Chain A
């Protein structure tokens, strides 16, 4: 408990300080303290948002009492009463407190001031501790962050470095000019020299080619490649290596995976009830990304395709449609539309611009200039961008027997499902038009339980002829429209129904006498009651049922009265004119389940059949644009003012117009993939830098907002961004630029002084030693053992049973295998620019004990060059060449020879295999210097 005491004491001290500060200098309040602001954020703002914003904030068109509580100035000025709502330091004089203590009484001059206002006559007083918090907050001087921010940085938040377009920086002068190979080095060196530091020695050639190869392809170089490079003394030997690596198909597999982290790629929808969980075509997105990177698709086009390929003229090649998987393959949140759109807004804004727009779902962003209306302006774009119902085929499926078979089988399955639904539906319609059902529903409308609004839930019935709430509501509504005492069909029903149940027998004859004289009454209804008065209301319903059903059944209807009765069941507004789309409302539970099962089987068939052609998970624009409201507090049931689809205000000129074309998605894409956008190029070059160096120039790669870390080398970041845009957004150009710098080619060794003065290597005085990630670890094992399957693309595979590259592994976001998590795989639930790097024993256990790791050791020994080397030391030499691309030292050789010459040996893993496993487990294998 003492901790809590400490907390309240420190708050009290804060309060005293603020309070005294105020008394001394009432006109010019002291800037709020961090504690004060924390108090506001923790205790006050949530209550304001929850309880007051609905009526008293800018989201409301007509602000109640002309008072806004989302703005300090407005609170200080007060609303239409003319008195301030808060008087900092003095709760007793603050009208806000008067309102929330709930003790105000009506007087002649004003109604009682009670907030939150009573609802349906019930008071809604806030809990006592909340009221106390408000008093305390006002006593503290009402610390409020907007004002605090204005004081901390008087400039417009739009002037935040990241929101201002990059400019061509001046290349700095340096002393050690001979070191610099390109401009990058001058930016880095200038900072080092300013701190009296110096760059490290260049890395040796083996280290360099190993680093470059892992960096660009995620695989180790071969020993031959290392030796060729070491032997090549030409000036462009290294540049040639980079070009070779950039041209490798493996490049896209490595760098595509980085983008798949950003795109929170997964092959499943997350938790589902009954649907097929797998996405049948997620892989088409993955393959598009890999190909786009291999083709060096300009990054602006890379983004436009992923956001709005369907809005482009694709000139006959629609493969780019697959790019929209970027938006569509997120978690499905049990198909909750607003959560799906939230996920798309987040992946788009953090993924491409490092803007945390998702924070503005419920209220204005606390730190960045992102008002809530910006969020809903983007929401409007996505709300008018439904997924294509029939996902488009990509390219022309080959005329293979597999495809033909698939198409036929799919058509058969789809016809089967449709036939099932149509047949059941027809049965239900026929049943609903029988006399028994007509009578049953007429009676059921009398039950008090049916609400006028009608039930929202599907009918949950086991029996086909059960009375469903859905149909009862339809009948009720229909009969309500025919409730006139002179209605030509239902006048009799209305009259009988008006008799109280207990009096029915007594009054039936009288009512019958009246009814049958009705002039308007349909002769067939007249006929039904003419002879014998009914004994009960049920009998009335049954006579109606018979009369109506008879007209419906008869083929020749000579008389208009027959047609009139038939229309009760057949007119478009008839209760039994249920549409096919509404079929599940009349289906039994079992029928509904069966139909969903048939559809799930079709989806599973698309997921698994080898002949299924690739399709794009594409979006389209709605035919007409639905209006979009702000959702107050993020609640779709609580609509605020209308917004138009538009780009983020912080990144737009003040006269920016809303999007005009369709959903606005293409315009959105063009605003992001634009040289005018201050973030897009910076964000991407920072990430490229980060994947090379392990650390970005901005160390918060998905947040460039006001609370992000500023760049360590802002001019360098701008320089790279300018080169990127100027170079037609070529990603490969940026790789070349970075990798040819002396900065990149430094050794990762440091000296003691640097380790002390710059432990995080902010100044880049050396290269950062990096551990291989999960994909590169597994792929390197496969490559070295000789088992790597170089096939590219296609459906995802179970990664631990496969020898494909890890990027082709099946990702189930709902139940990600433990080994993925143990090796810091990016969460497939949200965009992720950088992985965690943890070191846990589960990683070691995988390498020590898993069948996969053991298999790689065995396979390594089966490689011909190893198996054929009979002489032990020669064999060890070759193993070192494969695993590390170098020769063992004398000590290493001796240790190896000693290890394999032991007398004990397991049958399942012989000494050589054990030795191979050790080499594959070592730090040298998984660390890149």
Chain B
């Protein structure tokens, strides 16, 4: 028999598109799962069955190996490094030493710092937990009983680039997959019509650019899809999401013909699953055009929701993020803005005030909104920068800062991040910096420890969640990291 004879059988000719789509929608999941034998441990770049499984549907939902309290993650990245002593870690001692040298020597940071600089912001107790928050975040403070404040974070070096890579990829210099890539690889995504890992940053890239959401040695499909949220039109947000040449109904007609041709091609090739997967990818793409447009269009929200998030780019991107989370996107990173906005070497009071005003209302709205939709329970919200700032004033360094003597330098020795939802203990403060705020002193939590803990919340043992590459089993936490059980509710 000549396999090239393209003859449509009676069955194929009477093929009904809806039936087929129904079959695909169900069929693919089962098919992919069947290929997923052995689970994660077997998935490596180099083994054949893993390749088959990944190629058929790399974003198919995969169960976590351990029970998980968090199903999805949103990481609010305050890039540049917000000052912890001005936001979530009050240090009255700085008042006492205002303008004077601290009783302990200043730790080495990127630049020289001098005397103690008291916070220009007032702290107040909030909620039942009575956790103190500064007046920079009055709205977030209202949610404090849902928030776990980790005041004893520490990282390795006081420079942006390595600290960003450490926070995002668990390694400061070498090329490693980002956190979001690991999670998307491990869990897949619950919405096949949208990318599983989305990273939003208005106005352009943060520094270190797309390395912050790189997939490293994992397949490229697990890399974060970057979206510039300064734009509002859908085709500027997602590449090739809209056809500018024909109407949707014309395109549907094209895809119907494509399906017919592919279907007869498939029938002559014994239903090869890779052919079937590609057929389905066109149907997914077609639906993605509508779903993505819908997901990114915040104007479909009712007025009271729009009002709750407030005006501005931050509010809009946070609301987009919620809509994406709702649609099953696995990992979302929301960056404050291009470059390093929170990097207040000078004029900290004005700059931090401006930045916090841009995002406080939106972040609080996100927490409230997730909670009222019942999503906060299994959505992990992470807030923080790549490090904090010194409790001491940055000294003038000509050419580097304006020398106003009213800002703070980078501080990797101690800083604050907070977590909410996803099974973390709300209304709880974990650890502490020393009384000056310079250094994590009580129950220090390294970035690797944070990663280990977050992976645990998502249902992974960070020591067992590995990927074989170049002869080694790699982990997000490399050879470090300890789960911090106190953070987990």
Contacts of A575 in B (CB 8 A): none
Contacts of B450 in A (CB 8 A): none
Question: Does the CB pair B399–A333 fall under 8 Å?
Answer: no
Contacts of B13 in A (CB 8 A): 891
Judged by a CB distance under 8 angstroms, whether A56 is at the interface is no
Contacts of A818 in B (CB 8 A): 225-226, 239
Interface residues of B in 375-423 (CB under 8 A from A): 397-400
Interface residues of A in 366-413 (CB under 8 A from B): 366-368
A336-B173, A771-B278, A824-B220 in contact; A838/B398 too (CB < 8 A)? no
**Cα A462 to Cα B284 with chains together (Å):** 58
Contact of A839 among B7, B48, B278, B459 (CB under 8 A): B278
Interface residues of A in 813-857 (CB under 8 A from B): 814-816, 818-822, 824-825, 827, 829-830, 834, 836-846, 848-850, 854
Question: Does the CB pair A908–B246 fall under 8 Å?
Answer: yes
**Cα A692 to Cα B150 with chains together (Å):** 54
Judged by a CB distance under 8 angstroms, whether A204 is at the interface is yes
**Cα A38 to Cα B56 with chains together (Å):** 31
Contacts of A2 in B (CB 8 A): 67
Interface residues of A in 124-147 (CB under 8 A from B): 129
**Cα A342 to Cα B174 with chains together (Å):** 10
Question: Does the CB pair A749–B6 fall under 8 Å?
Answer: no
Question: Does the CB pair A709–B47 fall under 8 Å?
Answer: yes
Contacts of A848 in B (CB 8 A): 240, 243, 251, 254-255, 282, 285-286
Instruction: Give the bracket for the number of chain B residues in contact with chain A.
Output: 35 or more
Judged by a CB distance under 8 angstroms, whether B58 is at the interface is yes
Judged by a CB distance under 8 angstroms, whether A171 is at the interface is no
Q: B281 to nearest A CB, angstroms?
A: 5
Residues 895-929 of chain A: 1 if any B CB is under 8 Å from the residue's CB, otherwise 0? Answer: 10001001010101100001101110111101101
Contacts of B93 in A (CB 8 A): none
Contacts of A924 in B (CB 8 A): 261-262, 265
Contacts of B281 in A (CB 8 A): 839-841, 843-844
Contacts of A49 in B (CB 8 A): 479
Interface residues of B in 264-316 (CB under 8 A from A): 264-266, 269-270, 272, 274-275, 277-282, 284-286, 288-289
**Cα A926 to Cα B55 with chains together (Å):** 15
Judged by a CB distance under 8 angstroms, whether B431 is at the interface is no
Judged by a CB distance under 8 angstroms, whether A466 is at the interface is yes
**Cα A206 to Cα B173 with chains together (Å):** 50
Interface residues of B in 344-399 (CB under 8 A from A): 397-399
Contacts of A926 in B (CB 8 A): 278
Interface residues of A in 523-546 (CB under 8 A from B): none
**Cα A188 to Cα B51 with chains together (Å):** 23
Contact of B173 among A333, A816, A836, A850 (CB under 8 A): A333
Contact of A588 among B49, B208, B257, B399 (CB under 8 A): B399
Question: Does the CB pair A909–B241 fall under 8 Å?
Answer: no
Question: Does the CB pair A702–B208 fall under 8 Å?
Answer: no
Question: Does the CB pair A830–B470 fall under 8 Å?
Answer: yes
What is the chain A residue whose CB lies nearest that of B44?
Answer: A700
A830-B175, A830-B217 in contact; A760/B48 too (CB < 8 A)? yes
Judged by a CB distance under 8 angstroms, whether A356 is at the interface is yes
**Cα A908 to Cα B245 with chains together (Å):** 5
Contacts of B284 in A (CB 8 A): 841, 844
Contacts of B209 in A (CB 8 A): 271, 814-815
A207-B4, A922-B265 in contact; A838/B282 too (CB < 8 A)? no
Contacts of A922 in B (CB 8 A): 258, 261-262, 265
Judged by a CB distance under 8 angstroms, whether B142 is at the interface is no
Contacts of A705 in B (CB 8 A): 471
Question: Does the CB pair B4–A204 fall under 8 Å?
Answer: yes
Contact of A827 among B195, B210, B220, B258 (CB under 8 A): B220
A129-B482, A923-B275 in contact; A838/B54 too (CB < 8 A)? yes
Question: Does the CB pair B49–A760 fall under 8 Å?
Answer: yes
Judged by a CB distance under 8 angstroms, whether A500 is at the interface is no
Question: Does the CB pair A271–B241 fall under 8 Å?
Answer: no
What is the chain B residue whose CB lies nearest that of A922?
Answer: B261
Question: Does the CB pair A838–B55 fall under 8 Å?
Answer: yes
Most buried by B among A463, A755, A837, A849: A849
Judged by a CB distance under 8 angstroms, whether A750 is at the interface is yes
Q: A86 to nearest B CB, angstroms?
A: 21
What is the chain B residue whose CB lies nearest that of A823?
Answer: B220
Contacts of A843 in B (CB 8 A): 281
Most buried by B among A339, A589, A837, A926: A837
**Cα A899 to Cα B58 with chains together (Å):** 34
Judged by a CB distance under 8 angstroms, whether A461 is at the interface is yes
Question: Does the CB pair A918–B398 fall under 8 Å?
Answer: no
Contacts of B479 in A (CB 8 A): 46, 49-50
**Cα A747 to Cα B281 with chains together (Å):** 26
Judged by a CB distance under 8 angstroms, whether A703 is at the interface is yes
Residues 237-262 of chain A: 1 if any B CB is under 8 Å from the residue's CB, otherwise 0? Answer: 00000000000000000000000000
Q: A833 to nearest B CB, angstroms?
A: 9
Contacts of A554 in B (CB 8 A): none
Contact of B247 among A129, A824, A837, A906 (CB under 8 A): A906
Contacts of A194 in B (CB 8 A): none
Contacts of A367 in B (CB 8 A): 471
A365-B471, A749-B270, A922-B258 in contact; A909/B51 too (CB < 8 A)? no
Q: A713 to nearest B CB, angstroms?
A: 14
Residues 453-465 of chain B: 1 if any A CB is under 8 Å from the residue's CB, otherwise 0? Answer: 0001001010100
Contact of A845 among B226, B240, B482 (CB under 8 A): B240
**Cα A207 to Cα B269 with chains together (Å):** 13
Contacts of A895 in B (CB 8 A): 257, 260-261
**Cα A463 to Cα B482 with chains together (Å):** 49
**Cα A707 to Cα B249 with chains together (Å):** 53
Question: Does the CB pair A821–B269 fall under 8 Å?
Answer: no
A367-B471, A368-B471, A891-B264 in contact; A331/B175 too (CB < 8 A)? yes
Q: B103 to nearest A CB, angstroms?
A: 19
Judged by a CB distance under 8 angstroms, whether A590 is at the interface is yes
Contacts of A287 in B (CB 8 A): none
Contacts of A701 in B (CB 8 A): 46
What is the chain B residue whose CB lies nearest that of A449?
Answer: B112
Question: Does the CB pair A749–B278 fall under 8 Å?
Answer: no
Judged by a CB distance under 8 angstroms, whether B152 is at the interface is no
Interface residues of A in 741-762 (CB under 8 A from B): 747-750, 752, 755, 760
A3-B66, A923-B266, A927-B275 in contact; A849/B161 too (CB < 8 A)? no
**Cα A845 to Cα B291 with chains together (Å):** 13
Contacts of A791 in B (CB 8 A): none
Contact of A844 among B5, B46, B67, B285 (CB under 8 A): B285
Contact of B282 among A46, A356, A700, A921 (CB under 8 A): A921
Judged by a CB distance under 8 angstroms, whether A334 is at the interface is yes
**Cα A404 to Cα B336 with chains together (Å):** 49
> Could you pull out 18 A-B pairs where Cβ atoms are within 8 angstroms?
A333-B174, A462-B398, A699-B46, A702-B46, A755-B270, A814-B211, A824-B220, A836-B45, A837-B55, A840-B58, A845-B240, A889-B7, A891-B264, A892-B264, A921-B282, A922-B265, A923-B279, A929-B3
Measured CB to CB, the residues of B under 8 A from A are: 2-8, 13, 45-49, 51-52, 54-59, 65-67, 161, 173-175, 192-193, 195, 205, 208-211, 215-217, 219-221, 223, 225-226, 239-247, 249-251, 253-255, 257-258, 260-262, 264-266, 269-270, 272, 274-275, 277-282, 284-286, 288-289, 397-400, 456, 459, 461, 463, 468, 470-472, 479-480, 482, 488
The 8 closest A-B pairs by CB, nearest first: A356-B471, A589-B399, A3-B66, A821-B220, A462-B398, A844-B285, A700-B46, A889-B6
Measured CB to CB, the residues of A under 8 A from B are: 1-4, 7, 42, 46, 49-50, 129, 204, 206-207, 270-271, 331, 333-334, 336, 339, 342, 346, 350, 356, 358-359, 365-368, 460-463, 466, 588-590, 695, 699-703, 705, 707-709, 747-750, 752, 755, 760, 769, 771, 814-816, 818-822, 824-825, 827, 829-830, 834, 836-846, 848-850, 854, 886, 888-889, 891-892, 895, 899, 902, 904, 906, 908-909, 914-915, 917-919, 921-924, 926-927, 929
